[in-house]
Structures are given as structure tokens and as C-alpha cells.
Chains A and B, each alone.
Chain A
Amino acid sequence: MTKTINLTLKIWRQKGPEAKGKLETYKANDIPTDMSFLEMIDVVNEKLTLEGKEPVAFDHDCREGICGMCGTVVNGRPHGSEKGTTLCQLHMRHFSDNDTIVIEPWRSRAFPIIKDLVVDRSALDKIIQAGGFISVNTGNAQDANAIPIPQETAELAMDAAACIGCGACVAACPNASAMLFLSAKVSQLALLPQGKPEAARRAVSMVREMDRLGFGNCSNETECEAECPKEISITNIARLNREFYKAGFFSSEK
């Protein structure tokens, strides 16, 4: 039989970017523990709608942990306390009857609040625009097997490439730095031979863009790694630092 629990929710409500926000309290009763966290918010929203109130705005899309659209701070932790889990994959069986859950949006100067739990993460796209790519126009490629890549290297690149761009690393960092996000992309491309020609320019211009957008610096708090739903390792940040210094010393990129 399905177990159910009763919860008290404290949810951040804010009408718009300029409005003043506050935590509102809601009851969520008879929540089946097989339910996902977002389905629990769905239930609350259905109830609010029927009571003639405005439902809570929150971002979500694939609900299978890969699109990176969802994410709120749950009891002080981005995506909640389960390791390696996005909010949409967090299930209510990890909570107990009569728990109080505090739900807040990502907090960072670079992520302005749009409404309630929804923030603007377009700064992450801007970081990618600054160099998170390999410059190869469609049609320019040689045969895919022309460059053998050691399996281990390909696996390391894949570990970094697993980033879903949700922004939890920024939300977790006391400095609101985007270093884990940025380093995952720099690492993926710096590890692979295809990414080498642009490696210096990529590292320098992506870091510069991150600074410009108002993200903080990295001071090795490692909170980002702890909260990353895809468990991206901070060794990527070390690799980024290496790429950045290498670019400074051995290339003309400034």
C-alpha cells in the first residue's frame, strides 16, 4: 500500500523581479511517498488554483533529470539533500510525516528572480557563447574514426560533459561562482584533440565573461561538487585553472 505523509511548506513568493518577496506557508496533506517533489508542488498548485489563488511559479520540463530546467533550494540545499539528484528526481519517500520544508529560488546576483521560484539563468548561455564550442562549420568534418581518442580520455571528457547547466553549483557556492559549470565545458573540450586549437582562447574568454556577468570567484569551498546533481568533479576546476595559466604564459591570448 502507498504510504502518505503530511507536510508544511514554506515557499518563497515574489511577484516579479522588482517586487519584495517573502516566505508563505502552505499545507500539503496526504502526499504519497512515491510522488516526486515536483508532483507534490503540482498538487499544491492545483489546490491553490481551485481556491482562486495564484499557483506557485516554478521551472521544470523533462522531469527525468536531464534538461536542467528545474531546481530550487530545498531546506537550504540546491535540489534537496539527496546526492546526485535533480529536484524532479527527488521523491517524497526521503521526507517524513510532519516535516517542514523550506523552498526557495536559486540566489545569485547573476540569476535575477523572474517570479516565485523562477530565475533567469541566461548568464550561463552567455558564458558558453564566449567560447564553449569548437569552431567547426557544418560540412567541415573528416571521418569520425580519423582521430582515435584513448578510451580513458573520452570517458573523462564525458564525465565533464554530463553537466546539465541547472545552476545548482552557483546556488551552492558562497561566492555564487560559476566555476564548476564553466570548468566542465572547458575540461570536456580541452581533453579532446578536437578542442586543442582553441583551448587557450576558450579558457581566457569564458573566464572573462563569467567575471563580467557578476559571478563570484572560486575559493575552493567545494560546495558546488557536493550539490551537483550530475556529480561533476572539482578536478575540472583544477584543469580549468591549468588551462587558464597555460593560456597566460604560452599563448598570445590575454
Chain B
Amino acid sequence: MQLDAKIPGGPLAGKWDRYRFELKLVSPANKRKFKIIVVGTGLAGGSASASLAELGYNVKTFCIQDSPRRAHSIAAQGGINAAKNYTNEGDSIWRLFYDTVKGGDFRAREANVYRLAQVSNNIIDQCVAQGIPFARDYGGLLANRSFGGSQVQRTFYARGQTGQQLLLGAYSALMRQVGAGKVEMFPRREMLDIVVINGQARGIVVRNLITGKIETHASDAVVLCTGGYGNVFFLSTNAMSSNVTAAFRAYKKGACFANPCFTQIHPTCIPVHGSYQSKLTLMSESLRNDGRVWVPKNPGDKRFPRQIPESERDYYLENKYPSFGNLVPRDVASRNSKEQCDMGKGVGETGLAVYLDFEDAIKRHGRDVIEKKYGNLFQMYEKITAQNPYETPMMIYPAVHYAMGGLWVDYNLMSSIDGLFVLGEANFSDHGANRLGASALMQGLADGYFVLPYTIGGYLAGTSLEKITAGHPAFRESVEIVNNSIEKLLSINGKRTVDDFHRQLGHIMWDYCGMSRNDEGLKKGRKLIQQLGEEFWENVLVPGSDKDFNQSLERAGRVADFLEFAELLIIDALARKESCGAHFNEAYQTKENEAMRDDKNFCHVSAWEFAGKNKEPVFHKEELKFENVELSQRSYK
């Protein structure tokens, strides 16, 4: 397999415009002859479904929840970036592009990131037109705030519920198309296989989660918008149903998986507090606009935070990184929290937490202002911890949050299977080794509203597609594979529950492939995962039947895929013999313990091709060429 990113030539700023002109078009009258399947209804899937239907395509959209409005994009809190420069601070498309490439530790594609920055402004326009109630200043114009990794205020927000508002915007556009009969909506369906015919993605196999029926759907192209794989760590900020299954089954059908080891650990989450815990809750990065991060200077200082005088506090981010202070990128902030806790300066019952303190901000701006900006986050914190963050500092600790890695895609967002497009967090393309805050919403909507609608037309217009229906033998084959695997899961009848396996997998991943990694640990982790995988298929206990609403069975299938995928993640981590962004291998660090890249040998995307069960995946390299930015040691000092 030869990976071709299909990046257009010519100067960076003109690439997307020229490319759009060169793309073949499908005429309005012909669009209705094509059927497109979209899996997932988050920002990427929702916006793509609506936009494709508006253009005249026939769209079938699938989601795992009971309604497309529930996709986990809804939980994004802080905001969405755009290069509007409404604040007159000197922001520009170029600066947003540069910040994103640098924030990603120079492991993203220049051309993709530039395009993302270009369309960022259209996204804000579109969202306002849809009636999204963004925060506004007294004059009635849009307000902005700061996020990590940037020195300008370019983040648009709707209180601490920006993801919710943007998703409901995309959802309402989607509902409008469902009402108009252009999108057929299939909720409570889980995609279990991609059907590939003559090398082209031509449909999917799904399980109806209510009746258990296995259904087949044929189409001319398939668009996966199925989110990230953070739940491979069991505890993460992802929703309970977030999983890798759709992406992983596509991988097994020939789509390359790129950079799976780039998994973002978010610095500001509510710390773990018990072995029964089912998920972790994020506290938006926007809190670092006003909150100050600190730990006691003396290890083991167990006094209440308000009793620790100023002189005995270490505001380690402000001290170490004076120009960015508390707003360093996520990977840097997370590693520094871990470092402080490893030195014994962690706070709270477990010693695995640092303070995020609003005392100064409340003194400076007043409680009302802080409440207006972060009220719902403070309330959420209090509900979970029973502590009032207006009076006592929050305690936070890093947690698994976002997957920069994902299915490999070219400039058209098409994977290594023809006709299989991958959007949003499910692809790998824009964030390199570390995503900046408020960029996920931007990317999901960019892909769905402003990139795919053009590139998919180019594919459909330039490809000859054989007429097929869901009666094609390839569908029957897929159904058989899916059924066999379900039968197997139900017949093992072992002694351990699905969650029990998942939790153990999470521990292994966190211990050996978490915030800081080394070759020895990775190798050990891999072995432990293989053993756990073997035990799973002999000893898992899945109650109930397949012809029913069976949540244990749903989870069993997902955990089975996580177990295999976890190994791929570790293989990727082992192969990348450098530290960059979220991937920190202890053997490669600067004197000041910052990540040390090896641009000579690792300035590439690692894309893995499935070679068969229990075989090493095949490595493919896509060299990253930087023609417009200079590769430098990232510094936020």
C-alpha cells in the first residue's frame, strides 16, 4: 500500500481555493442519485449529514444513542477557536495556523491545518446564523477568551456549554433535513462492520440496539464520524458509549490507523476518588484564564489550602513558563502536574491532585463576574466533590481526554479505503501530537460543514461505482462475521464481567502507556494486554440474549475491540523513539524535562495497516514536510 496524502502544490495560502476549483463537481440534478451513509452525529457527523442533504444527496445517518443530540461533542465546555481577530490583537489565519502546528509539536500536516484555520471564520458565521447564543459584550458583539497555547483571545464561547450549543446547532440543521425527507435517521444503531466491494466502501452492517437485529445498508460512500478512543483507558472524560469499534473494524478492512499513541491527557479534571468510579469529569481549560495552579512548596504539607501562606506556595506554571503562565498547552501542563505530585507535593486524600485557585480572580473581578463566566462549571464541581470552589481552591489532576490519533486520511479526508471518509476526532489529521484547547470543535465543524461537502463530490464525480444492493454477497459475509462474534461472546459464560476486564485494561494502559512512557514499561504493558485479551475470550460473562436490548453485550463487543486496539497503541508508542506532544518517552527529554523531538528520524505520520489476527501490523510512513514553518524546540517560557 502506498499512502498518498494528495496535498495540492503551490503556495500554502492558495492551496485550498485552487484545489476546490480543480475538484470535479456533481451537478445539482445528479446529487440525488447518490446515497451517502454517515455514522455518528457529533459535530462532524451532524454537520456533514445536514450539509450533504442540503446539497441534494440522499443521506442515511446512524447514531448509537437514542437521539442524535446526545453525541459526546455535547460535553465540550470551553469554546471554539477562530481567526476573526475581533479583539484587534494581531490574530490572523496565519497565526492560528502557526499556533496549531506548534501546539501539535510539529507532527501535523501544514496544508490541513492551514485549511482548518481558513474555514474557522466561516464556522463562527454559520453558527451565529443558526441562532447559537454565543457570549456577547455589552455592545452586543461577540466576546472572546483565551485558551492554552495562544497569546491572543480567539476563543468564542457559550458559557461553559459551547459544545452543547454548537452540537444543538448542527442537530437542528440535521433535524430540518430529516423533516424534509433528505436524511433518514437511524438512532440506537451500532456500526459493526464496513462493507468493501472492489476496493470501495459500499455500505455498513449495524446492530439495532433495541431489537438486536443485524441490519445492512448499501451506499455510494461511507463517512465515519465516530469520535475518539480515549475509553481504552477505561477512565477518561469520554462518554460511556464512546468507543473504537467502528474505526477499528474499518482498520481491519484496510483503513490505516495513524498515530494511535498520540492520546491527550487533559490537565484539569476532577481527581479519581474511588475504585468504583465509572468516568472522570473535565473542568474546562478556560478556567486557566482566571485560575492559578499551585502546590505547597514543602512536600507533605497537609494544611488546608487557605492556611498555607503565599510564601509557601509554588505557582509552578507561572514560575517556570512566565510568558504563557497557567495557559501553557495541555501536554505541558499535565506533565508538570505529574512531576509535582511525583515529588510528593500533590494535595488531597490521594496526593494525586494540584490546586486550581480562583481567590485572586474573585478579588480582582468580583464573584459575579466569575460566576457569569464559569458558574455552571463551579456548580458541577460542587455537585461532584461537595466543595465550594468560590471559597476553597479546586483540586484537579490530569485525565485521558482526546485522541489526536485516528484513521489515516488524505487531504480529502478519505481513508486508505476508497470511498471511506473519516471526520472529526475519528481521523488523525490536524492536531499533530497535541491538540490545543478549543480546536476540537473547530475541526469537527470544519470537516463536516466546509471540507467534506466539496471533497466527497470530487470522489463521486471521478469514480465509477458498480450498481450494488445490500443483497450483495459481501454483505452476507460481513453479517456472518458479526453474528459469529456475537454468538461467541454470549457462549463463553465465564466468571468475570465485561466492566471488570475493561477496568483492568485501563489500569494497564494508564500505568504503562500514560503520561510518561518507557520502552520497558511499554513492552510489559503489551504482554499484560495480550494475556488479558486471551483471558477475555475464555472467561468473560455476558448475560442475556442477542435478540434483545442488551447493554452488556454492547459493551462486550467494544471491550473486545479495545483489547486489540490497546496493543496497536503500544506498538505505535514503541515505534516512535522520540518524545513529542502527548507522547513522552522518558529516554528522550531535554535537560529541563521537556519533550525532545527527533526531527531527523521521526518527522512523520506512522500509519498502521492490519495484517491479520495475531500478526504484527504493517508500518507505513508519511513524511511530514514543513515548508512554511520552521521546526523549533517548543518553548512557552
Contact = CB atoms under 8 A, between A and B. Distances in A.
Contacts of B75: 62, 64, 66-67
B84 A144 contact: yes
B164 A91 contact: no
B544 A54 contact: yes
B176 A161 contact: no
Contact of A61 (B70, B136, B453): B70
Interface stretch (A134-142, A172-180, A213-221): A134-142
A104 B636 CA distance: 53
B139 A66 contact: no
Contacts of A140: 126, 129
A166 B69 CA distance: 10
A55 B126 CA distance: 44
Contacts of A34: 273-274
Interface string B121-140: 01011111111111111111
Contact of A54 (B131, B142, B240, B543): B543
Interface stretch (A5-13, A95-103, A150-158, A240-248): A150-158
B591 to A, nearest CB: 40
B551 A55 contact: yes
Interface in A27-66: 32, 34-36, 38-39, 42-43, 46, 48-50, 52-55, 57, 59-66
Interface in A108-125: 114-115, 118, 120-122, 124-125
B129 A194 contact: yes
A137 B176 CA distance: 10
Nearest to A15: B548
A145 interface: yes
Nearest to A151: B136
A49 B158 contact: no
Interface string B249-279: 0000000000000000000000001101111
Interface in B457-513: 495, 497, 499-500
Nearest to B496: A50
Contacts of B383: 65, 82, 85, 89, 91
Most chain A CB within 10 A, of B129, B171, B449, is at: B129
Interface string B273-292: 11011110110000000000
| A36, A82, A150 interface centre (most CB from chain B within 10 Å) | A36
A129 interface: yes
B126 A141 contact: yes
The winner among B134, B161, B241, B543 for most chain A CB atoms within 10 A is B543
Given A55-B551, A61-B241, A162-B161, A35 B276 contact: yes
A139 B142 CA distance: 20
Nearest to A33: B386
Given A42-B278, A55-B552, A189 B386 contact: no
Contacts of B449: 138
Contacts of A115: 548-549
Contacts of A154: 133-136, 140
A62 B74 contact: yes
A143 interface: yes
A173 to B, nearest CB: 20
Given A144-B128, A148-B139, A42 B276 contact: yes
Which one of A122, A138, A149 has the greatest number of beta carbons of chain B within 10 Å? A138
Contacts of B549: 16, 57, 114-115, 118
B154 to A, nearest CB: 13
B543 A62 contact: no
Interface string B50-81: 11001000000000011111101011000000
A133 interface: yes
Interface string B540-571: 01011000110110000000000000000000
A93 B161 contact: no
A68 B84 CA distance: 32
Contacts of B543: 48-49, 52-55
B592 to A, nearest CB: 35
Given A42-B499, A61-B72, A136 B158 contact: no
A147 B65 CA distance: 35
Contacts of A165: 67, 69
B386 A125 contact: no
Nearest to B84: A144
Interface centre among B136, B159, B379, B499 (most CB of A within 10 A): B136
Nearest to A89: B383
B172 interface: yes
A74 interface: no
A154 B74 CA distance: 20
Contact of A129 (B54, B136, B163, B175): B175
A168 interface: no
A149 B140 contact: yes
A132 B175 contact: yes
Interface string B497-533: 1011000000000000000000000000000000000
Given A61-B65, A69-B66, A91-B384, A145 B239 contact: no
A138 B276 contact: no
B77 to A, nearest CB: 9
A239 to B, nearest CB: 15
B47 interface: yes
A143 B125 contact: yes
Interface in A174-207: 188-189, 192, 194-195
Contact of A120 (B66, B139, B384): B66
Contacts of A194: 128-131
A2 B274 contact: yes
Contacts of B161: 66, 162
Interface of A: 2, 16, 32, 34-36, 38-39, 42-43, 46, 48-50, 52-55, 57, 59-69, 82, 84-85, 89, 91, 93, 114-115, 118, 120-122, 124-125, 128-130, 132-145, 147-151, 154-155, 157-158, 161-162, 164-165, 188-189, 192, 194-195
20 contacts: A16-B549, A39-B277, A59-B66, A62-B239, A66-B161, A68-B67, A84-B379, A85-B383, A114-B210, A120-B66, A128-B175, A136-B130, A137-B54, A145-B142, A150-B136, A154-B140, A155-B133, A158-B165, A161-B133, A161-B158
Interface of B: 47, 50-51, 54, 65-70, 72, 74-75, 84, 86, 122, 124-142, 158-159, 161, 163-165, 168, 171-173, 175-176, 178-179, 185, 187, 210, 239-241, 273-274, 276-279, 281-282, 379-380, 383-384, 386, 449-450, 453, 495, 497, 499-500, 541, 543-544, 548-549, 551-552
Sort A-B residue pairs by CB-CB distance and give the 8 closest, nearest first. A148-B140, A133-B172, A129-B179, A141-B129, A141-B125, A158-B133, A157-B133, A144-B128
